[in-house]
Amino acid sequence: MSTVAGEMDHHDHHHHAPSGITRWLFTTNHKDIGSMYLWFSFIMFLVGGSMAMVIRAELFQPGLQLVDPHFFNQMTTVHGLIMVFGAVMPAFTGLANWMVPMMIGAPDMALPRMNNWSFWILPFAFAILLASLFMEGGGPAFGWTFYAPLSTTYSSDSTALFVFSVHIMGISSIMGAINVIVTIMNMRAPGMTYMKMPLFVWTWFITAFLLIAVMPVLAGAVTMVLTDKYFGTSFFDAAGGGDPVLFQHIFWFFGHPEVYIMILPSFGIVSAIIPAFSRKKLFGYSSMVYATAAIAGLSFLVWAHHMFTTGMPVAAEIFFMYATMLISVPTGVKVFNWVATMWRGSISFETPMLFALAFVILFTIGGFSGLMLAITPVDFQYHDTYFVVAHFHYVLVSGAIFSIMAAAYYWLPKWTGHMYDETLAKWHFWCSLISVNVLFFPMHFAGLAGMPRRIPDYSLQFADINQIVSIGGFAFGLSQLIFLAVVIKCVRGGEKAPAKPWDGAEGLEWTVPSPAPYHTFETPPEVK
């Protein structure tokens, strides 16, 4: 550690940031790269959200109003891909870049040049994906899960661009994950043992191993799609001796751990915020670490619960049913520990705490609907209905996205050196909370009544419920503009933030001034 700090002193006599466009192009500073990831993910969030607006506008009334069914399918597909790979994952990577070195007392990430590279290939990946929408025959229209034969036999020529962009996203994720692991293993401050690391660092450490394990599986799946479509192989074509269900096995072996990649860092964020605003230590720290590891391990044993209706043997269905229900145990441990942390705490309700509380409650609703979907005979009814849409949006919007919002409000004073506008932030919270429930809660009932998902038209009986859902969707989308206003206002100025703006907050990041200096720890701090 000291040698690293010594080298940094040696190289860096000027302690100010370089300026202009080159600062951002060539930067190896973890804070700059973290900021670029966060802004990029927010832009992608707005792009993916505008696609959701197209979907909800079309579904406002039964019948075909605004877009043709093929374009509707392109919107559902690209909306999913952008939200998963362009909004949620880069936001978490941005938070990791910003906070992990500060939390463990490191001067920077371990592999700074690779860090720059892993960010800068992302805009090109999404430019390629979005450009495919303008090709003859349109962009990808086979769902974000790109099941064969929809993505092979029946897809348009833009499939090649889609495959290329997914490969680039995967490369970026793997490089980011390697960087996180190397940084955490090699650059912790003296005295910072593994079991003293903040939970956000732990959850990201485990997430990084998941990324390295499953991203190559996704690369394999898209490559097989590519060769089936363009090079005459038949991995997924029964006529040539292949099997379309094989695609689903490969995809979901990536896809289910991926779901946890998008929620584990949330657990770390909420485990930082709830103790800070309850002014108490986190209840059951070590059980939280083990529960995170258990969730990560079990996530590899449940992939086929997405495939109960594909005609698996009954023994396999029973195995995947029980394995899926088992994941709710470590998740329940986490929810219990958060509630126990708040118990008899001296709680105050600033915006980060509001988002964290909403996360706990709404994520739990998503968890319960997940338990319902885990029960095989019942899933035969729910499968591919709006019930599934409601389930995973509760986990990913009021789960992952809300935790990212909570993190942004929690660390904004540290990033910018200014306190954000609390009144405006509360407006953002309440508008988001109400609209997100108007948007997704009624979908449960539409799904239970049999409304299929990914369709541009529907039966007349679902007209009223879809109108309510669409209104909720537009309200939720517009609410995010308040968030943009809060962040811009905070960046531009405002009340000066102290080094520790939240009196219950713990951790090394609150020992440095706000805004955090360009180089944080020239000499590593001692952790007692």
- Choose, from 188, 334, 393, 428, the residue flagged as catalytic: 334
CA distances from residue 167 to 129, 231, 253 in whole angstroms, order as listed: 11, 18, 17
Looking at 155, 172, 341, 369, which residue is catalytic? 172
202 burial level (CB within 10 Å; 0-12, 13-18, 19+):
buried
- Residue 350: name the closest of 278, 434, 280 by CA: 278
Distances (CA, A) of 132 to 29, 163, 164: 33, 11, 11
With contact defined as beta carbons under 8 Å apart, do 356 and 364 qualify?
no
- With a cut of 70, which residues of the chain have pLDDT below it? 1-17
SS3 at position 140: coil
d(CA 426, CA 121): 35
> pTM of the entire structure?
0.95
Active-site choice (30, 31, 79, 418): 79
56 is a catalytic site residue? no
pLDDT of residue 292: 98
Residue 305 is among the residues annotated as catalytic for this protein: yes
Do 384 and 453 meet the contact criterion of CB atoms below 8 Å apart? yes
Distance CA(90)–CA(119), nearest Å, equals: 9
Query: According to the model, what pLDDT value does residue 523 have?
Result: 87
From the candidates 32, 58, 108, 317, give the one annotated as an active-site residue.
108
Assess whether 14 carries a catalytic annotation: no
Out of 30, 229, 305, 418, the active site residue is: 305
Active site residue 172: yes
From 56, 188, 306, 444, active-site residue: 306
Q: All domains of the chain, ordered by start, with CATH?
A: 27-510 (1.20.210.10)
Q: Which of 256, 280, 383, 418 is catalytic?
A: 256
* C-alpha–C-alpha distance, residues 266 and 275, integer Å: 15
Whether 173 sits among the annotated catalytic residues: the reply is yes
Q: Hey, what are 321's tokens?
A: 């049913």
Residue 83 is given by DSSP the state I
453 annotated active-site: yes
Is 338 annotated as catalytic?
no
To the query of whether residue 310 is one of the catalytic residues in this protein, the response is no
- b (16+ CB within 10 A) / e for 358-387: bbbebbbbbbebbeebbbbeebeebbebbb
What's the CA dihedral at 122, 125, 127, 132 to 10 degrees?
-160
383 included as an active-site residue: no
How far is CA 383 from each of CA 73, 132, 363, rounded to the nearest angstrom?
19, 30, 20
Establish whether 256 is a catalytic residue.
yes
Task: Choose, from 260, 303, 415, 502, the residue flagged as catalytic.
Answer: 260
Q: What is the pLDDT of residues 297-322, one digit of tens each?
A: 999 999 999 999 999 999 999 999 99
- DSSP string for residues in 270-316: HHHHHHHHHTSPPTTHHHHHHHHHHHHHHGGG-GGGGGGGG---HHH
* Contact by Cβ (8 Å): 117, 175: yes
d(CA 21, CA 419): 27
Element holding 368 (H helix, E strand): helix 351-374
Q: What is the structure's pLDDT at 18? A: 73
- pLDDT value at residue 527: 87
